[in-house]
Structure 1
């Protein structure tokens, strides 16, 4: 696994890019000719992005988003971390119009993609709605996700699975499946998803997947939990909605295509954290998503989402609730934004704990601060793991482990310093 900067060509254009690669047939790219918008490169000229933060002004009809920043006045990307276990990139941008004017003076966003060897990333979107001026007036909506497919000049019809091009499913496997193309529900080509599918208001997970020919399928998911995905419930708009307790979801005419710099694109479904005219998120506001690509079935994505959202119970080291004391190891909790179980080792040469999953834990990530050795051994239930079953990364006194296993039962984990 590696993260690096390079010159990248797509759709006949060449520009600076940050790339994250792992041993999968897809990779993560952030490219200057596409305003450094973060995409999954699915191979042979097909890219997918789960979008960015976007708002809209009723004053002038403009969308304010990084897509408008053709001159890269505000958009920039950097590599924060690169190693065998994890890569992390940071994309900063402003919500501007085609004139490079920023909504409310200083509306910006920071996105952090934390990527692991399984080719899955947590997308952490930190929005900074503007408060510097009244420019743009009151917002119409704040959009945080859209399923957008782009090609480098290949017709969309040639890469999409026409029988089932897009699905949206819940944590229970309730599934909406759409062919290519779907009829336009409204003259302008979009409608609230809950108009035709009111059952989505009762879902906990929202898992979207685009089905491609001869390539891995990109996906993005989020959970209806305001701790990690704040939202205002669906409300009546000029084209109707259900007023249910769920984030506003908009279904696009999937046959709708637009030309972009020699390529084609298609939008499938979008999510607005707020679609209440005149309201805005707090400054700052954080949304988390799990995104990547897969060659496995839909059930795997449900399991993956459950693994991310429902961490195992950790028994052994005391939790850090009232500060640190004399214990050799403390459990600092689970980080949704990093998919990581976090420990701090105060003394000694090992970390022991019991992992008790309520759902299967897929490829657990373990972070240990206070590490003092150049190497590590890992055991599950007393059996040492082979080096092919885990990856280790050391940075200063921090150890990061990625375990290439699915943990389905109570498991005793031992992590021991080597070469100290």
Structure 2
């Protein structure tokens, strides 16, 4: 008998230790205030995230550890710890979650602090099945709070009348009362109440997910539909509870008020897109890793040198090739405004929406490499495929390889360079968009924050200027001034982007024009149903690029919660520089300037109508000006001859000499000394040189800061070089 009693006592002790603890006071041990009723047994599930349990989240009521997938972090929350989800791949899942305890009324609630709104509806808790059974409690793409539930013979979809803010702690709740109503609350305030009929229809034996849909969804956007898509919450969750009672508005209001001052959510800073370090300030190109924010950076399986940027020693601007833009090069102003002249783009029935390098969000095909890096110039090669958002190649019918582009960017110390675009095209030949003028924005910025309303000036070779203002009467064509071949963008910065094209007539598969073709793009030009109504900006403004990792195209911005971009022009066309059976080449002069729009004309003349070179040394030949290099090309013909190299550049008012570059093939390994019109020029800011080593010899590359409209004599002496 004594042994039996000992056994019963031991069993009772073990049962007490292993049973879930039910607190009897109004405070949980974490310090979070609860109603007496909730603690005493009405809670069905509770994820407080206070215990750091590795890759699992503890349901403190059911004592189940639910699996955590993806990248996450425990951070300070409303009470104790909270869990931060990365917005790309992080979610919590229980494979089987029985809802048999929710036979009557129930409440679902949570604290949430979002870094950005989800692309489409993403759950705090999802235990639904095919819009038939169970329930979904989550956030919509504009910050709406939604509760979707099977009740009676219907699937009900209720959305609150208010949106939750970004980067602030918010308490959200949904209350279900069978046969009566569904009420939704934000911070204890009722934001929706709908009368209903019928009881809750649970999903038996289905899964429960937190932070991601428990099943793939179809994402319908006006320009791109994605099947089998999942949507993830980007932010912090805390104190998720499911309780088997209908909490009153007063109880929820009291819960919210009891927390008092809310902590600042531990969310990553995303307000500034990354640029290269300034370092010594020397001119050149540098491999580096341009980190943005931790959750995005952690996605990339790359080394410490995946990105590339060009720095200038005479100005604070940079030229950046970054994974976040799929390596599409962007000019960055002194105050951090990003701008790009786009990329090659095409379309057709063989791809979804369009084919362009920004669809390559993982940089599977897009890559960048440094070809030359001297004090005189930088040459960067960017290669990319024309594929759609599903990674399908365009135009594979020709040889099965699709279309590719090689871009060469030849950049000089005056932040001006040549962009050479080589399109390897398939037949039958199709049209391409060669340039769109695009401004890239970080979260929190509107287009109107970074650009003047008179956004673009077009300029012709006579110096005539026409400004275009983005207002309701802006039209698509940009006919003035006649023969325009230069574009200047009025960013809210000291240094502003520009490009210069050949003014010659255009006759290509894209169309026939007497001079380069420019056309605007503004939000009011988009067809109904494609753009939001009302639009948040006068500009066409989208956030499917940059940085975004979901497949998509043409997703208009409603709220600036993510990095985004807006267009100024589209389908800019000019003459081909070269054309063969398999390759089309175009060139432009591009850069940044602190001058006015009409002051581009002398630079344009120096490139398009470069002064003639007259070589006066017997050991050298050539002297042709190559627009695609922005350089004069010479060659040393007698390797044993050490006589100086002399030549004259015959500048005039119509053929000005502005910052010339000179390449002398087979020069050798020596550096050169320079005199101009008999005056020695010291190597430094105004005279820069470099040696390019190649398979056939060593070439001298020179860049000289000069602005002349009369003949200039140059003498290069290898004997005095270092």
TM-score by structure 1 length?
Answer: 0.83
**Match status 1:391 vs 2:670:** no
Please name the residue that 1:269 is paired with: 569
The change in CA–CA distance for 1:351 and 1:274 in structure 2 (over 3 A counts) is closer
Please name the residue that 2:415 is paired with: 119
Q: Deviations over 1:279-303 (max 9, x none)?
A: x985211100111111112233111
Aligned pair partner of 2:650 in 348, 353, 356: 356
The change in CA–CA distance for 1:274 and 1:294 in structure 2 (over 3 A counts) is closer
Please name the residue that 2:75 is paired with: none
Please name the residue that 1:313 is paired with: 612
Q: Deviations over 1:200-244 (max 9, x none)?
A: 3xx1x5111111223411112211347xxx642875xxxxxxx64
**Match status 1:26 vs 2:317:** yes
The change in CA–CA distance for 1:45 and 1:373 in structure 2 (over 3 A counts) is closer
| Secondary structure at 1:303 match in 2 | helix
Aligned pair partner of 1:252 in 493, 517, 521: 521
Q: In structure 1, what is the Cα distance between the partners aligned to 2:574 and 2:411?
A: 28
**Match status 1:53 vs 2:344:** yes
Q: In structure 2, what is the Cα distance between the partners aligned to 1:331 and 1:362?
A: 20
Q: Is contact 1:234–1:248 with CA below 8 Å preserved after alignment?
A: no
Deviation at 1:256, TM superposition (A): 2.0
Q: Is contact 2:501–2:574 with CA below 8 Å preserved after alignment?
A: no
Aligned alpha-carbon RMSD (Å): 2.6
Please name the residue that 1:98 is paired with: 389
| Secondary structure at 1:306 match in 2 | helix
1:220-369 to 2 correspondences below 5 Å: 220-225=499-504, 231-232=507-508, 235=511, 244-253=513-522, 255-259=539-543, 260=545, 261=548, 262-273=562-573, 282-317=581-616, 327-347=618-638, 348-349=641-642, 350-358=644-652, 359-369=655-665
Q: Is contact 2:521–2:568 with CA below 8 Å preserved after alignment?
A: yes
**Match status 1:211 vs 2:500:** no
Please name the residue that 2:285 is paired with: 3
| Secondary structure at 2:566 match in 1 | strand
Stretches of structure 2 that go unaligned for 5 or more consecutive residues are: 1-282, 301-305, 397-401, 523-537, 549-561
Aligned pair partner of 2:425 in 129, 150, 155: 129
Q: Deviations over 1:239-280 (max 9, x none)?
A: xxxx642344321116222224422322111335499xxxx9
**Match status 1:165 vs 2:465:** no
**Range moving further from structure 2, 56-65 or 168-177:** 56-65
Q: In structure 2, what is the Cα distance between the partners aligned to 1:38 and 1:26?
A: 13
Deviation at 1:120, TM superposition (A): 0.8
Q: In structure 2, what is the Cα distance between the partners aligned to 1:390 and 1:292?
A: 20
Stretches of structure 1 that go unaligned for 5 or more consecutive residues are: 236-242, 319-326
Q: Deviations over 1:70-104 (max 9, x none)?
A: 12221111111111111111010111111111111
- Please say which structure displays the higher CA radius of gyration: 2
Q: In structure 1, what is the Cα distance between the partners aligned to 2:438 and 2:292?
A: 16
Q: In structure 2, what is the Cα distance between the partners aligned to 1:231 and 1:126?
A: 18
Q: Is contact 2:501–2:516 with CA below 8 Å preserved after alignment?
A: no
Q: Is contact 1:231–1:273 with CA below 8 Å preserved after alignment?
A: no
Please name the residue that 1:321 is paired with: none
Please name the residue that 1:238 is paired with: none
| Secondary structure at 1:304 match in 2 | helix
Aligned pair partner of 1:156 in 443, 447, 452: 447
**Match status 1:147 vs 2:447:** no
TM-score by structure 2 length?
Answer: 0.50
| Secondary structure at 1:269 match in 2 | coil
Q: In structure 2, what is the Cα distance between the partners aligned to 1:266 and 1:62?
A: 18
| Secondary structure at 1:250 match in 2 | coil
Deviation at 1:386, TM superposition (A): 2.7
Deviation at 1:61, TM superposition (A): 5.9
Deviation at 1:317, TM superposition (A): 4.6
| Secondary structure at 2:437 match in 1 | strand
Bigger share in strand: 1
Q: In structure 1, what is the Cα distance between the partners aligned to 2:583 and 2:705?
A: 35
Q: In structure 1, what is the Cα distance between the partners aligned to 2:566 and 2:633?
A: 39
| Secondary structure at 1:57 match in 2 | coil
The change in CA–CA distance for 1:219 and 1:333 in structure 2 (over 3 A counts) is same
Deviation at 1:316, TM superposition (A): 3.0
Q: In structure 2, what is the Cα distance between the partners aligned to 1:11 and 1:407?
A: 47
Please name the residue that 1:182 is paired with: 471
**Range moving further from structure 2, 365-374 or 243-252:** 243-252
The change in CA–CA distance for 1:123 and 1:11 in structure 2 (over 3 A counts) is farther
Q: In structure 1, what is the Cα distance between the partners aligned to 2:333 and 2:580?
A: 33
Q: Is contact 1:45–1:152 with CA below 8 Å preserved after alignment?
A: no
Q: Is contact 1:143–1:274 with CA below 8 Å preserved after alignment?
A: no
Paired positions, count: 380
Please name the residue that 1:378 is paired with: 674
Q: In structure 1, what is the Cα distance between the partners aligned to 2:573 and 2:424?
A: 14
Higher relative contact order (CA 8 A, sep 6+): 1
Q: In structure 1, what is the Cα distance between the partners aligned to 2:585 and 2:441?
A: 30
**Match status 1:414 vs 2:708:** no
